[in-house]
Amino acid sequence: MFWTILIFLHVVAMAFFLGGQIMLAFTVVPVMRAEPAQPERIRAIAQRFGAGSLIALGVLLLTGMMMASHFQLWDYGPFQVKMTLVIATIVAVLLHTVRGQSHALMGITFLLTLATVYAGVNLTH
């Protein structure tokens, strides 16, 4: 039961992180940009999502490390690919927090997140 809950927490944190990016990029930002007097609202939404994302990343790292140890994945090639993508995603997130308005960093972070999730799904079979 413990590992089922741990995997559940990992998946929920991933869903928040990726789903939040999709929600912001494809719905919130375009709607908010239609009203030019609202840039501070976009910033406030992004900052709140950023705080939640940092929590989600923490959960993902903790649960991921526990699962990697339990399932003995540290030396497994596909897992190492996923970890490389995780590190690249974290670097992109940190850069994005410093350079908040960069559309390129937003896109890179999103693509890295998608690749990381794909690599994670690939580990399940």
* Segment-wise mean pLDDT, segments of 10 residues, the chain, 125 residues: 95 96 88 76 85 94 96 95 96 86 86 96 88
Closest CA relative to residue 45, chosen from 56, 29, 58, 34: 29
**What confidence score (pLDDT) does residue 102 get?**
79
**What confidence score (pLDDT) does residue 117 get?**
96
Classified as helix, coil or strand, 18 is: helix
**What confidence score (pLDDT) does residue 30 get?**
84
Residues 6+ apart with CB under 8 A from 113: 17, 18, 21, 89
**What confidence score (pLDDT) does residue 32 get?**
79
**What confidence score (pLDDT) does residue 34 get?**
79
Q: Tell me how many domains the chain contains.
A: 1
- Residues spanned by the domain of 34: 2-122
Contact, 123 vs 82, CB < 8 A? yes
